[in-house]
Structures are given as structure tokens and as C-alpha cells.
Amino acid sequence: MRGVDLHGALTVLPGGATGLPLPLREGRIGPAPRRGAARIDLGGATIVPGLVNAHDHLHVNAIPPLARGEPFASSYEWIEAFKLHFGDPAVAAALAVSKRVRLYHGALKNLLAGTTCVAHHDPWDTDFGAPDFPVSVLRDQGWSYALGWPGYGPDPRQSFSETPCGHPWIIHLAEGTDAASRAELARLEALECLASNTVLVHGVGLSAHDIERVIARGAAVVWCPSSNRALLGATLDPQRLLAAGRLALGTDSRLSGARDLLEEMRGILADGVLDPMQLLELATTAAARILRLSDRGALLPGHRADLLVVADDRGTGAGALAGTRRSELRAVVRDGMPCITDPDLGDWFGLAGVDAVPVTLDGRPKLLASWLADPEVLALEPGLALVEEMRQPACATGSG
């Protein structure tokens, strides 16, 4: 694919925004526009970086959740209750779908809502490296599942000791309101697993003193408020970790959390906890820094060309994404390639040499890259449907 320059849009950058054209070159953000590059006019839209979901379990997004009742004291209590849920015919049917299809579905769910990179908190799967996998998946991180669930995932102390300090080490921690959950940070410290590359997921049971210890060690927390409230009836106060730059945002999967990262962000905005700029940073620059992703989270020269195009009627700057739903995104682009767009941006697929198929997303017409249109995967995603028309052929139009 030859270079493409995006014109007529406001590009959100760290610390500000620019109306200059945004050059895309071989899957990266280019240093400058150039003569002969194809031109795409975005008509007053706003461009923001592709989102980073700092915590998801990709393979369980189509499994029906437990009916909500009284809050659980901890995730361990929820896990015990969920074991009985396996007898539900709907759960059995969902688990009968191949793991490959379920992984692709979890990735597509993220991509449709503007997430281009995901931290999957389970074993690495070879499908993640496939050219047609919908999102990039964090790799080379160390991980353990949780202190209180031995037998699944690596041993915490061994995994931590084997993780280079330049890579994140991730673990569920303090996912509860009971005494055992509140004591988990001390247990982690006793194992000598709290350091500058430690990333704690949830942290609901962390006290104010615990949070200061996390910050002092240079560690970080991934906040999943929808999941926390659904399972535990509570979530952590993000303000101190946010101010210290030690907070990222995750969804935890639809089994317990929000439909996608955009829905998670809308809920936080509705609660008035964070402003739009703080929220955008959590899902882009902060997540990239905490997960040691040196070429993601910002639309800077040399970074991966992962981006979202947001309609001009959604506002400008960081506020453009505030309250946005996935169907309202004008385009989602990964590695410089359009993945899903509004129909009037269909020429972009031609410039990329990619076939597209017409779909509806939550009732709105879209074009979806054909390599994403696996019928088995699409069948798992509510609100997404193929339109029975011919595929749009690749064509070399729109150059300038």
C-alpha cells in the first residue's frame, strides 16, 4: 500500500491537537505529508489514537454472565458460584464453540469499539500472531492469575522472577472487599513481587496506604469499574493513582464487565469521576506507558498507525470521544489499514487494496474489511450483521 495522508481533521496529540495532515506510511505514522501520496478528506472529523484495553479475557465474551444478585465478597467467591453456572444450557452451548472462534470474537468486539491492542490475561495463543487476528495482543509480559487460585497460570513468585524488568508483570489482586482481599498486597510484597513493572488488576481492596505503597514502588493498577461494581458492588477510587500516572483502564470481558471500552468510558463520564482528557489518556498514553508499549498510545512519527476517526458532530479534541458509541465511529484503522468505516469512506479500502463487505453495526450501515467477516465469529456478536450484497472490490481511487 502506498502512503496515505489524512486531511481535513483535527488530530489529538499528547498535550494538544493539530489540524495538519496526518501521514500514514507502511503501517506507521509518517514524519510528514509528501507529494504523490493518496489523499483522504475527513471533512472536519477528529482523529484519536487507537485504544488500549489493559485487561480482557478474550475467549469468554460470548458466555452468558451470572444473574446479578447480592455482591460477592471477592472474585474467588464469584468463581465458586460460577462453577454451578456451567450446567446452564446456554453456558454449555457457548463453551461448545471452538476456542479459536471465541478468541477471534473477543478481539473483534474490541476492534469494533476502537480498541486496537489488548492485554489478554490468560495464556498466549498462537492465533494471536495470525495475520487476520483482529487486534494486537500484548506479548512477552509476565503474568500470574491470582494469589488465591493456585493451579491455573504460572506460580506468582517464579513468573515474577523470570520476567525481565523491562516487561510488565500482571496479576489479579485485591479483587474483593473482604479481609483476604485487603491483605493481598502484603502477601504480594512478602513474595517480593511488587516492583516498578508490576501491574495489579482491579485493586478494589487496596487501602489508601496500600495505594501509596504501590505508587512508591512504581507499580500500577488496571481499573475495571463496571466489572467491579457488577461482581463486588464497589470499585477503587482512581484519583490518587491517576494523579501519579499509575492507572490504566480495562473491561475484564462481558462475562462480568462492560460491552466494550467505549461503554466503560461512557459510564465513568456519566459518574463525573474523570474528565474526557483524563479518560482518553487512561486508554491510550497511560496504558501504553504502563504496559511498556513504546510505539502505541499516541499519533507520533514512527508509532503504529492505529487510530479512530470520530465524526465532527461529536466535539473536538479529547472531548470528541466523550460519550461516543461504537456505531458512531467514522473509522477504525489498525496498522494503517481500514478495518471498519462509514460507507462514504469506502475508497479507503480501495487505496489499501482491501476488499470490504457491507454490514450493519447497531443498526447503522458500515463497511467491514472482508478479512474480518468470518461468519462464525460475526454470529457471536450482537448488533453486527452482514448485508446480503456483493462485496466492494478494491480500487485505486481517491489519489491526489
pLDDT tens per residue, range 328-361: 999 999 999 999 999 999 999 999 999 999 999 9
The pLDDT, as a whole number, for residue 83 is: 86
The pLDDT, as a whole number, for residue 389 is: 54
Is the pLDDT at 400 greater than 60, yes or no?
no
pLDDT tens per residue, range 58-97: 999 999 998 878 999 999 999 999 888 888 999 999 999 9
The pLDDT, as a whole number, for residue 265 is: 96
> Which run of H or E residues covers position 195?
none
- Give the mean pLDDT of 196-201: 98
- Give the mean pLDDT of 300-327: 88
> Which run of H or E residues covers position 185?
helix 184-190
- Give the mean pLDDT of 143-158: 93
Please, what are the domains in the chain? 4-50+297-386 (2.30.40.10), 52-290 (3.20.20.140)
CA atoms within 13 A on the CB side of 5: 16
DSSP assignment of 95-156, as one string? HHS-HHHHHHHHHHHHHHTTEEEEEE-S---GGGGSTT-SSEE--S-EEEEETT-TTSS--H
Is the pLDDT at 394 greater than 50, yes or no?
no
- Give the mean pLDDT of 251-270: 96
Residue 323 DSSP class? T
Distance CA 173, CA 301 (A): 36
pLDDT band at 315 (very low <50, low <70, confident <90, very high): low
pLDDT band at 314 (very low <50, low <70, confident <90, very high): low
pLDDT band at 150 (very low <50, low <70, confident <90, very high): confident
Mean of the per-residue pLDDT values of the chain: 93
- Give the mean pLDDT of 287-314: 94
The number of helix segments (H) and strand segments (E) in the chain equals 14, 21
DSSP assignment of 4-39, as one string? EEEES-EEEETTEEE-S-EEEETTEE-SS--TT-EE
- Give the mean pLDDT of 272-300: 96
CA atoms within 13 A on the CB side of 51: 34
Angle between helix 225-232 and helix 75-85 axes, rounded to 10 deg: 70
Is the pLDDT at 397 greater than 50, yes or no?
no
The pLDDT, as a whole number, for residue 60 is: 96
The pLDDT, as a whole number, for residue 87 is: 84
Q: Which range among 14-18, 32-36, 100-104 has the greatest average pLDDT? A: 100-104
- Give the mean pLDDT of 176-186: 98
Residue 260 DSSP class? S
The pLDDT, as a whole number, for residue 72 is: 96
Is the pLDDT at 3 greater than 50, yes or no?
yes
10 φ/ψ angles, rounded to the nearest 5 degrees: -95, 120
Distance CA 316, CA 45 (A): 8
